[in-house]
Structure 1
Amino acid sequence: MTSEYTGRETAGEPAAHQLAQGTPVGSALDTDDPTAWISLDIEVRELSRPRLYPVHPRPAPPRRRWLSRVLPPLRAEPEAASSRPSPDAGLAVVRALPPATYDTEPALALALCDADGHVREAALARIPTGSALLPLVVIRCADWASPVRDRARELLRAELPARTPEELAALAPLLLRIDRRERGTFAAGLLETALRTPPYDHLKAQLGSADRDTRRFAHRIAAAGQVLDPAEFARSAARDPDVVVQSCCAEAALAGVRPDAYDEVLGPLLAARNPQVRAAGVTALRKAERPVEAEPFLADRSPVVRACARYVVRQYDIDPLPVYRAWCAEQGPAALPIGAPIGLAECGDRQDAGLLWPLTEHPDPAIRSRAVAGLRTLDVFDTGRLIPLLDDPSPAVTRETVTSLIPSARRIPVDHLVDRLTPDRPRHHRLASIRLLAAQGGTRQLRILRALLEDEDAKVRERAGRTR
């Protein structure tokens, strides 16, 4: 059994064993977990599989005996290594099977997962209307045996429309999981039909599903049909934790927004944490003819948002470069947006390095790190001025400095780096020295890295081994 189908089991005992002892299905497995149903199907299939070609004749294994206590012997066990039970004989037994054989839900669940297709088909004929075993019917819709598959699909087609929106939302994760199988598209097709049917109660019940795939599936359908109001799409884009849902909702919100309703849509988008959603909101400012509101996003933390903001202001003949220069020329700590130094480098030239060097001493480490990154973007390198930044108390500044110094690592004295490898140094200083020693190469540097393989700090040992 692969790890993909490992379901949760109660009381530390496999769900199939509990069902064989008469435990109710709801107590034997987590019925809200699609993986638990798939795991049960595989588990029972393995336990009920007959040994048709044993190497040496022997009695039925113990794993089969517990199942025989619940279900009658629907197949003849082989008497010799060369014998094989007749499918016709097994089918005759199933047809003569009294209805009382499946009078309990646990026994019916086991029969629906049995290795014998005749048993599975007979069990499908005995499922009552509204049964809690509908998840196993969904699995049987992708069964390899066409009689079982056809009967299961007929049953699911009749049962699914009668389910409430909440019941269908609970079943949807399994329907989508089975959709990945070779014959599993039927069940997901029924789900899609139900979700696309007005008044969309089933669809709205799944937009807040805890299952990620279900939310994605439901939001794609909602976006395609513009089922929600643009403001609702915008709020979903801002609060949903999944980036696929965020992007889908942001596009749907902007596609359906009216000119007089931009405030309700742009507010959530521009305040979203996801940079892709913010970028969509910033880009929409061009269509809304509000370029001034895009100017603060010129200094956004995300490069894609900054690029969209520059695009918007340039469409209205506003040059972003003077804005960046004015920001970086301000000396007050609170007057400088965090993304201004790197934004200046993205659209400036090497002469703007004069504004960035002073910012490497700014009190805010986020400003210092972006100033170093901006100097690198402008292709401005001064090893003598960068080396002191290796001792910066901020790991972010040190990382950016190392990245800038690696092309000229051989200019840094080895002893200077060795002094920063002592155990009393902060970890990010030690890691920076290891990266630069590895960039230098050489026999002495190799010996130093080899000695660090016995360091007390596990992170230092791992970095030294990897770079060496």
Structure 2
Amino acid sequence: MIRSADWVAPVREHARQLLRETLDMDAALGLAPLILRVGRRDRGTFGVDALSRVLGQASRGQLVVLLRSSDRDVRRFTYRLAVERRLFDRTELARTAARDSDTVVQDLCATAALSVVDGEDAWGEAVALLLSARNPRTRSAGVTALRRAGLVAQAEAFLADRSALVRACARYVVRQAGGDSTAWYRQRCTAPDDLASTPGAVIGLAECGNRGDAALLWPLLTHPVAAVRASAVAGLRTLDCADAHRLRPRLDDPAAAVVRETVLALLPCATDLPGTWLLERTDARQPRHVRVGGLRLLDARGGIIALRAAVGLLEDPDVNLRLRAGQSVLRWNPTSHARYGDTEVAELLDRSRHLVGAAALRRRK
């Protein structure tokens, strides 16, 4: 098997002849991991083709051994072969797509489950399995299948899914059935008490609404559920209605997800934010996610105040935050307003000497 991919032609041809004569079912099942690994070489496709021919005659019971293999490539190869040979029905394919841990196998089986001929009476169970999957791509396949299965009414429940892909598929199914997804989102957002269980409805409104819908999102910035607040900030950014002055208080939000979305919304206008106010967000008394957000905005803002914050965080108790601060120091460059020979800059650079070394420090100065 190994010499069938040899670079010397006589060796390669002789090995391939022997492989044709000796590769039987037992050898193929045992050597599948090696054959697929050698198949990655420039001349390794011969072995893979031989493996396909032998396993093409294997029974379903024989392939089960490879379907349970710990080798990821073997499982993917075998599932592709099983799908081509139509060894599984729609329900089995949907169950594998919903429960398997490999995303390639999930996509392969989900696609195959939807392409099985419509004569089978297993649409309901198969779609239910796809809709229960954790993987968004598998759930989106299930949502799309609702139309073919005659279960369009169930698509409305996925308009507020946590995945943007699933929400988009649900809007397509609802639209094909004559429904109005935008009206559904607006109704949800006007009833804040109902959003606790469906925070995806907030960002869903931004995805298919218009800038006038921002009026429904601003009140949700103070919603008691953190996921709703984060979705409201993300929605305002999506609608291009992020007002820096009104969003600034969200940088002190107790939920890290809200602060992350706020930082993304404020980054385009970071230079307009008060430097002293941002510097206070990096104080050691602030929660970690607030310090991270303040550093990101100061890094985008630039100037000596950004260097001051980054050097101050080099001694932060959080390892990852110290790493971020060090990267910020290494990226720092003086702005056009910097004073030549500024003593504070020299002192801050001296405190970061361990990051760049003495020679690089002299050049930076």
Identify the residue that residue 461 of structure 1 maps to in structure 2: 322
**C-alpha deviations, 1:158-191, integer Å up to 9, x for none?**
333251xxx6434211100011122222221121
More helix by share: 2
For 1:178 and 1:255, the matched residues in 2 are separated by 32
For residues 392 and 169 of structure 1, what CA distance do their matches in structure 2 show?
A: 57
- Tell me the TM-score normalised to structure 1 length: 0.66
The Cα of 1:148 is off from its aligned counterpart by 4.0
- Sort the Cα spacing of 1:452 and 1:198 in 2 relative to 1 into closer, same or farther, 3 A: closer
1:256 to 107, 116, 123: 116
1:139 aligns with 2:2: yes
Q: Which deviates further from its counterpart, 390-399 or 378-387?
A: 378-387
Correspondence for 2:184 among 300, 308, 323: 323
Deviations 1:257-294 (A, max 9, x none): 53532112101111111111111111111222321111
Q: Is the 8 A contact 1:175 1:187 kept in 2?
A: yes
Deviation at 1:194, TM superposition (A): 1.6
Q: Does 1:158 align with 2:50?
A: no
Tell me the distance in 2 between the aligned counterparts of 1:182 and 1:435. 46
Structure 1 residue 200: Cα displacement: 4.2
Whole-Å separation in 2 of the counterparts to 1:162 and 1:299? 49
C-alpha distance in structure 2 between counterparts of 1:196 and 1:338, whole Å? 48
Percent identical residues: 52
Contact 2:200 2:231 in 1 (8 A): yes
Residue 218 of structure 1: aligned partner: 78
Query: Which position in structure 2 is the counterpart of 1:174?
Result: 34
* Contact 2:140–2:165, Cα closer than 8 Å, also in 1: yes
2:174 equivalent to 1:313: yes
Determine if the alignment matches structure 1 residue 332 to structure 2 residue 155: no
CA distance in 2, matches of 1:168, 1:188: 10
**Could you give the per-residue CA deviations for residues 211-266 of structure 1, whole angstroms, max 9, x where no partner exists?**
11111111112222322111111111111111111111111111005353211210
Aligned counterpart for 2:292 among listed residues 406, 431, 434: 431
Deviation at 1:152, TM superposition (A): 3.3
Distance, in Å, in 2 between the alignment partners of 1:173 and 1:437 is: 51
Give, in angstroms, the shift of residue 402 of structure 1.
Answer: 0.7
**1:25-44 C-alpha deviation (Å, 9 max, x unpaired):** xxxxxxxxxxxxxxxxxxxx
Q: How does 1:411-430 map to 2 (within 5 A)?
A: 411-430=272-291
Return the index of the structure with the highest Cα Rg: 1
CA-CA distance at 1:154 after TM superposition: 3.6
The 2-side partners of 1:173 and 1:361 are apart by 55
Alpha-carbon distance, 1:386 to partner:
0.8
Moved more, 140-149 or 388-397: 140-149
The residue aligned with 1:269 is 130
Preserved CA contact (<8 Å) 1:421 1:430: yes
Query: Is the Cα contact below 8 Å between 1:278 and 1:305 reproduced in 2?
Result: yes
- CA apart distance, 1:343: 0.2
Distance in 1 between residues matched to 2:29 and 2:199, nearest whole Å: 43
Residue deviations 1:75-117 (CA, integer Å, cap 9, x gap): xxxxxxxxxxxxxxxxxxxxxxxxxxxxxxxxxxxxxxxxxxx
Secondary structure of the 1:332 match is helix
Is the Cα contact below 8 Å between 1:390 and 1:429 reproduced in 2?
yes
What residue in structure 1 maps to residue 355 of structure 2? none
Q: CA deviation at 1:318?
A: 0.3
1:378-417 matches, within 5 Å, as: 378-417=239-278
- Distance in 2 (alpha carbons) for counterparts of 1:301 and 1:433: 27
Query: Does residue 376 of the first structure (1) align with residue 240 of the second (2)?
Result: no
Give the letter for the 1:209 counterpart.
S
User: Are the aligned partners of 2:283 and 2:291 in contact in 1 as well (CA < 8 Å)?
Assistant: yes
Shift of 1:151: 4.2
**Does residue 300 of structure 1 match 2:169?**
no
* RMSD of equivalent CA atoms: 2.0
Offset at 1:363?
Answer: 2.2
| 1:398–1:428 CA contact under 8 A, matched in 2 | yes
CA contact (8 A) 2:192 2:223 kept: no
The answer as to whether partners of 1:233 and 1:249 remain within 8 angstroms in 2 is yes
Q: TM-score, normalised by structure 2?
A: 0.84
Q: Does the 8 Å contact 1:328/1:340 carry over to 2?
A: yes
The alpha-carbon distance between structure 1 residues 327 and 198, as it changes in their structure 2 partners (threshold 3 A), is same
Aligned match of 1:126: none
